[in-house]
Structure 1
Amino acid sequence: MAQAFNARVRHREFNPGDLVLRKVLHVTPDSRGKFAYKYDGPFVVKEAFSGGAVILSDTDGTENALPVNADAIKKYYP
C-alpha cells in the first residue's frame, strides 16, 4: 500500500528566490466563511532545508522568524 501511495507523490523542491504562496492555517474572527482567502502572499523563499522546512520573507525583504513546512506552500507564477 505504501508503494502505491509513494508512486503518486510529487516531490516539490523550493529554491532561494522562488515566489510562493502560504496557506492560511488559522481561522480569523472576522473570516468570511467559505469566501475567505485560502493563501497569503506572495512571499520569497529565503532558505530551504533538507527536511522540507522553508524560511520565507516578504517581497519587501522583512524575514519571518518561524519556518514553514513545504506542504503548506505552493509556487506562485505572476
Structure 2
Amino acid sequence: MARAFNKKVRPREFSSGDLVLRKVLHITPDSRGKFAYKYDGPFTVKEVFDGGEIILNDMDGNENALSVNADALKKYYP
C-alpha cells in the first residue's frame, strides 16, 4: 500500500529565484466566500532550508517576516 502511495507523490523542489504562489490560509469575514482568491503572489524564493521551510520575497524585493512551508506553495509559470 505504501509503495502505491509513494508512486504518486511528486516531491516539491524549489530553488532560490523561482517564482511561486502562496496559498491563502486565513479567510477573513469580509472575504468573498467561495469566490475569494485561493493563492497570493507571485513571490520569489529567497532561501530554502532542509525541512521544507522557505523564505519569500515579494516582487518589489521586500522580505516577508514569516517563513512558509513548501506544502503551501506552488510554482508559478508566467
TM-score by length of 2: 0.94
Tell me which residue corresponds to 1:31.
31
Q: Extract unaligned runs of 5+ from structure 1.
A: none
Structure 1 position 65, deviation (Å): 1.5
Tell me which residue corresponds to 1:2.
2
C-alpha root-mean-square deviation of aligned residues, in Å? 0.8
Tell me which residue corresponds to 2:46.
46
Structure 1 position 18, deviation (Å): 0.4
Q: Provide the identity percentage.
A: 78
TM-score by length of 1: 0.94
Ranges of 4+ aligned residues in structure 1 off by more than 4 Å: none
Q: 1 CA distance for matches of 2:65 and 2:20?
A: 17
Q: Which deviates further from its counterpart, 41-50 or 3-12? A: 3-12
Aligned length: 78
Q: 1 CA distance for matches of 2:5 and 2:53?
A: 22
